[in-house]
Amino acid sequence: MVDPEAVRHVARLARLGLQADEEKELVADLLAILEQFAVLNAVDTQDVPSDSVQPATAPEVSADEPESFDAAAADLLALTRHERGGFYLVPRILRDPPQHPGAEPPGAPDAPSPEQHPLPTSDPLPSEDGAGKR
Amino acid sequence: MMSAATIAGRVRAGELDPVSVTRGALKRLEERDPNIHAYLDADADAALERAEQVAEDAARGDDPGRLAGVPISLKDNIAVKGRALTAGSRILQDYHAPYHSTVVRRLLAEGAVLLGRTNLDEFAMGSSTENSAYAATTNPWDERRVPGGSSGGSAAAVAAGIVPVALGSDTGGSIRQPAALCGVTGFKPTYGSVSRHGLVAFGSSLEQIGPLAAHAEDAALVYDVIAGHDPLDPTTTPAERPSAYKTSASVEGLRVAVPEELLDETVEPRVLERVAAAIDLLGDAGAITKVVPKGRLAHVRLAVPAYYLISACEASSNLARYDGMRFGPRLEQDDLLGTYQRTRGSLFGTEVKRRILLGTFALSAGHHDAWYRKALEVRRLIADEFRALLQEFDLIAGPTSPSGAFPLGEKEDEPWAMYQCDALTAPACLAGLPSISLPCGLAKKGPYKGFPVGLQLMGRAHEDHRVLAAARAFEALRGEPERCALYGNEVAS
Amino acid sequence: MTATTYRPTIGLEVHVQLATRTKLFCRCEARFGAPPNTLVCPVCTGQPGTLPMLNAEALRLGVIGALVLGCRVDEQLHFDRKNYFYPDLPKGYQITQWERPLAQDGQIVLDRPEGELRVTIARAHLEEDAGKVIHPEGMDVSLLDLNRAGTPLLEIVTAPELHSADEAHDLLVELRRMLRYAGVSDCDMEKGGLRCDVNVSLSASDDEALGTRTEIKNLNSFRFVAAAIAAETARQRELIEAGGRVVQATLAYDPDTDSVRALRLKQDAHDYRYFPEPDLPPFPLAAEWVLELREGLPESPTARSARYGEQLKLPPAEVETLVADKALGDYFEATLAAVEQRELAVSAHGVAAWVVNGVRHLANERKTRVTELAVSPTRLAELLALVHTGSVSSQAGKRILDALEQDGERTAEELVAELGLQQMSDPEDLAQLVSDVLQREPELVARYCEGKSGVLNALLGRAMEASGGRANPNRVRSLLEHTLDATSAPQD
């Protein structure tokens, strides 16, 4: 169910850098906790909906009118010292390029390409999932 | 110390100077807090300045409000503009909230004086306030014991008689359990009745802000002020909220269920003894109490795993914003991934990391259905059972916590044991119901001998006023609670 | 043995920015081009304790967009969280719709040379945009601007039913036209208002089974979409023909080299840990409200096109021009209405000619939108009235159009008087004009007399020029003919 490899995977997903001893301890904790929680599996929930216990309510929406918050934009930027010329400064992005609508199009003038992965050109690629299964 | 209602009444009548009230609270804080570490910061200058402002308003003839001059302390996960907000975590060290939470706006509009930030388990994750990155709060009844958590600082501040009221937050019991362990009243409102705007999120679908007070009347007064629909929190309901302060305090004719599932063998017998006596007291006063045999709340024993899974999943997402990019410390590494990992790995405490891992795991591909979805389904079963029971009864009564105040460090290395502290309080959060913990005497024997016991009352959703009215009635029946060993008669008198 | 041919199968995921004033979950302006981090608040910068507040207009536009695409709108609105870390994502999760999209099962019909092509819209859902990370050359840090964070997007996903770059291109053009018509989005690609991801897989023509799919991310022009599909199709085909196999991957298209490169292979795939957004409880979308929006939908481009052709009898080229640009079509309609109000007998065709040839060129010259011109449809109608009654020539009318644009205040009539452009109709003035022109152009006259009657147009042009465009061209023409024929007749 949970082994050190799974915990390492989850820690990476959650961007938690763990020391080796800490990781060992957390693996043991998670294992113990999930063992206790496994009691849930015995419950028959075949016909139970998993939707919110809060009932759907009337639309809570607000009008499309610009409105200023009680915080000035400049005050927000002042919350970090990693700031220059109105921008937040973030670590140079070398890998793990964005995969979402906000991503800069590759080749945009202000976006030099992220580190390139060589594109696989031939089969087989032993590291690919499912490569050996076909 | 005077009750909040008395202070506000006398300030409004021009008989009491809010500045002297605040000075009194600050003096008590200075004397007593070094022993209990209820506060992360007193914020004395801001409190005095504010008290002067309230005094000026009153002198000018403006109505200074329902909480005029009342010193109120806030758990340090509630945003006050310009003031430090740490959530008990190093990852928010030196962070200052850029805006006011809605509850703070409401308190200020009624003349309250904000006094200090109280300690908490990091991101409200814990049941002992030992998980704070800054200090462990101790129980005013005995400095070697925990005050409960996660609103341990607020509970201890009230129990030590420093302030009449403090705000806490309750995700699975974090107001009620420390209230029980410290011998004060703690109320968790119906989900959606108090705005969460400005509350550092942990388990979004579960938590509410609520009062901890020496007097049930003050809990009602503060609830009236902070409850209300808020466009800044889409989970607040537009439903009307009848005044809890004005609802007549009586239990006459109320049907009170006492489900056997909440009295099982995991609860300390000496705790049960006090709770049983309290329920008898309700019966003597005209409530129709009835022990409900096992079966009606068949799934309540699963509240802890369901609660922990759901809250951990939500927390794993809610705490993703603490990445050092836009605020908070950043432990820079060569690349982005390294910076994220080092910042979050080093600045979150162990319990927070445990829950983030648990939640991330339970939501991850291949495990989502078995853990997260299953927990949601069990939540639904529990909520439905409570709703059904509350169709027949007006209130559900039982103990707040399986134990009394336990020694510091006792459960620190046993997460599973610590999680059991929420067994009786988590159900109200899973079902979104209003729930209060009331002091009902001290345990007579056993490991918690001489320590306070809490009676828990739960009511129907949106009937917060009824729960609080019943609590006020109970308080009148009970008489003044036993005094706190450390501070004599001043507490709760 | 004949060589196997391969057929690409293509699906599109299109993100369009909804035309709201403010963001999806806070009331910051959703505007392009402001200084960095000035259109931000605690909500869209992910400060602790903040909660999302849904923008009613974004929801309305999303539903309209879904209806325009013929989708079935869900009875409840559900939001989910998509969890991943990136500096431009302030909360560490994106609020989107995963399990229950806003709408499903729509259709876009393309008018293709080989016939009608129906493409299924699998789903359309609302989500918030991320901020923007800039990687300046030579700096060891990246720069983050959160102005765009929280901008409302409608993500539209087609079924994999397209089979060429050209079809994909046509679909995008039609989609953009439909959304612009309904006022859902400006689809302004230069401002990132429409972005596209493309899925491509190849299958042998004699085989039903689809090959492995690759995804090309973030294409921000229609041209790049077509080029990227062509490049990826070629790459996959070469790979297969060389005996290799396509590997599932996320790709980026580089227009400089006209090739794709891998961003991420499947083993690096993210695990987004979707779950229902607890801060936005589901709420019902009233069927009556959706019906109301459906009934209020503006005319579709297809319907407008049919009406212009069949009812108004406009020539096909003008129909196409007017329908391609909704703003131009709206301008035409407004002018037509103003002309009708004045009960002028100017034909729809006449109005269309002025809008297509006059107004559109004016806007092009000035690099502005027709809606931003100083010449409003009402002012144009005033001018058309003058032309129609013969007070000014149509040639002079063009000059007045320019003058109207430069002078936002005065009416066409006032400008005619000021510029002295009243039509010259006095017989004596015209006779003088013609005689002057004939005297100045003996060569043209000679050629006319040699039988080159086409020269008449040149002479007419000279005469119109000399009159500053004011002469009545019909009368000048007949006067020229009359005079010349009289001159040349004795030589026959």
Beta carbons within 10 angstroms of residue C362's beta carbon:
19
Average pLDDT over residues C314-337: 93
Task: Using the predicted structure, report yes or no on whether residue B324 has a pLDDT greater than 90.
Answer: yes
- Contact assignment for B238 to A14 by CB distance below 8 Å: no
Task: Using the predicted structure, report yes or no on whether residue C44 has a pLDDT greater than 60.
Answer: yes
Residues in chain B closer than 8 A to A21 (CB atoms): none
Beta carbons within 10 angstroms of residue B310's beta carbon:
29
Task: Using the predicted structure, report yes or no on whether residue A127 has a pLDDT greater than 70.
Answer: no
Question: Binning pLDDT at 50, 70 and 90, where does residue C1 land?
Answer: very low
Q: Which residue of A has its CA nearest to C61?
A: A64
Question: Binning pLDDT at 50, 70 and 90, where does residue A119 land?
Answer: very low
How confident is the model at residue C448, as a pLDDT?
A: 85
pLDDT per residue as tens digits for the range C147-188:
999 999 999 999 999 999 999 999 999 999 999 999 999 999
Q: Rounded CA gap, C216 and C218, in Å?
A: 7
Q: How far is A76 from chain C (nearest CA, A)?
A: 7
Q: Rounded CA gap, C415 and C284, in Å?
A: 58
Question: Binning pLDDT at 50, 70 and 90, where does residue C269 land?
Answer: low
How confident is the model at residue C27, as a pLDDT?
A: 95
Average pLDDT over residues C335-356: 89
Average pLDDT over residues B319-346: 96
Q: How far is A125 from chain B (nearest CA, A)?
A: 24
Q: Are B397 and B279 in contact (CB under 8 A)?
A: yes
Average pLDDT over residues B226-239: 94
Question: Binning pLDDT at 50, 70 and 90, where does residue A109 land?
Answer: very low
Residues of B belonging to the active site:
75, 150, 174
How high is the mean pLDDT of chain C? 89
Q: What is the percentage of chain B residues whose pLDDT exceeds 90?
A: 94
Please identify which residue in the block is written with the tokens 């109207």.
Answer: C404
Interface check for C398 against chain B (CB to CB < 8 A): the answer is no
Interface check for B39 against chain C (CB to CB < 8 A): the answer is no
Chains that touch A (3 or more CB pairs under 8 A): B, C
Residues in chain C closer than 8 A to A111 (CB atoms): 134-135
Q: Are C275 and B372 in contact (CB under 8 A)?
A: yes
Interface check for B333 against chain A (CB to CB < 8 A): the answer is yes
B257 sits in which H/E element: strand B255-259
Q: Where are the alpha helices (DSSP H) in B285-335?
A: 303-318
Q: Report the CATH fold assignment for C427-491.
A: Arc Repressor Mutant, subunit A (1.10.10)
pLDDT per residue as tens digits for the range C368-424:
888 888 888 988 988 888 888 777 777 778 888 888 888 878 888 787 777 777 777
Average pLDDT over residues C342-369: 89
User: Which one of B233, B363, B368 has the shortest CB-CB distance to C51?
Assistant: B233
Question: Binning pLDDT at 50, 70 and 90, where does residue A94 land?
Answer: low
Q: Which residue of C has its CA nearest to B195?
A: C51
Q: Are C396 and C421 in contact (CB under 8 A)?
A: yes
ipTM value greater than 0.90: yes
Residues 12-71 of B with CB under 8 A from A: none
How confident is the model at residue B287, as a pLDDT?
A: 97
Distances in whole angstroms, Cα of residue B331 to Cα of each of A77, B322, B341, C173: 18, 12, 9, 47
Q: Rounded CA gap, C360 and C355, in Å?
A: 6
Q: Rounded CA gap, B156 and B116, in Å?
A: 13
Q: Rounded CA gap, C324 and C315, in Å?
A: 14
Task: Using the predicted structure, report yes or no on whether residue C45 has a pLDDT greater than 90.
Answer: yes
Q: Rounded CA gap, B203 and C447, in Å?
A: 94
Sequence ranges of the domains in chain A: 4-42
Q: Which residues pair with B399 in a beta bridge?
A: B455
Task: Using the predicted structure, report yes or no on whether residue C37 has a pLDDT greater than 60.
Answer: yes
> If one looks up domain A4-42 in CATH, what number appears?
1.10.20
pLDDT per residue as tens digits for the range B481-493:
777 766 764 443 3
How confident is the model at residue C183, as a pLDDT?
A: 94
How confident is the model at residue B84, as a pLDDT?
A: 98
Q: Which residue of C has its CA nearest to A58?
A: C283
Q: Are B72 and B163 in contact (CB under 8 A)?
A: yes
Interface check for B81 against chain C (CB to CB < 8 A): the answer is no
Residue type, B406: F
Q: Which of B13-22, B201-210, B252-261, C367-376 has the lowest mean pLDDT?
A: C367-376
Structural domains of chain B, with CATH? 4-251+435-478 (3.90.1300.10)
Beta-carbon contacts of B9 under 8 Å, excluding residues fewer than 6 positions away, are: none
Task: Using the predicted structure, report yes or no on whether residue B97 has a pLDDT greater than 60.
Answer: yes
Q: Which residues pair with B437 in a beta bridge?
A: B186, B456
Task: Using the predicted structure, report yes or no on whether residue A97 has a pLDDT greater than 70.
Answer: no
Residues in chain A closer than 8 A to B335 (CB atoms): 91-95
Interface check for B338 against chain C (CB to CB < 8 A): the answer is no
Q: Which residue of A has its CA nearest to C241?
A: A122
Residues in chain B closer than 8 A to C47 (CB atoms): 97-99, 327
Task: Using the predicted structure, report yes or no on whether residue A44 has a pLDDT greater than 60.
Answer: yes
Q: How far is A128 from chain B (nearest CA, A)?
A: 18
Residues in chain B closer than 8 A to C141 (CB atoms): none
Question: Binning pLDDT at 50, 70 and 90, where does residue C265 land?
Answer: low
How confident is the model at residue C11, as a pLDDT?
A: 97
User: Which of C44, C47, C132, C141 would you mutate first to test chain B, the one with the most B CBs within 10 A?
Assistant: C47
**Between A and C, how many CB-CB pairs are < 8 A?**
230
pLDDT per residue as tens digits for the range B126-168:
999 999 999 999 999 999 999 999 999 999 999 999 999 999 9
User: Which one of C149, C264, C284 has the shortest CB-CB distance to A99?
Assistant: C264
pLDDT per residue as tens digits for the range B184-225:
999 999 999 999 999 999 999 999 999 999 999 999 999 999
- Contact assignment for B326 to A76 by CB distance below 8 Å: yes
Q: Are A110 and C135 in contact (CB under 8 A)?
A: yes
Q: Rounded CA gap, B197 and B233, in Å?
A: 6
Task: Using the predicted structure, report yes or no on whether residue C288 has a pLDDT greater than 90.
Answer: yes
- Contact assignment for B363 to C273 by CB distance below 8 Å: yes
Task: Using the predicted structure, report yes or no on whether residue C134 has a pLDDT greater than 50.
Answer: yes
Q: Which residue of B has its CA nearest to C274?
A: B363
Sequence ranges of the domains in chain C: 6-288, 301-419, 427-491
Q: Rounded CA gap, B108 and B78, in Å?
A: 14
Q: Rounded CA gap, B226 and B245, in Å?
A: 12
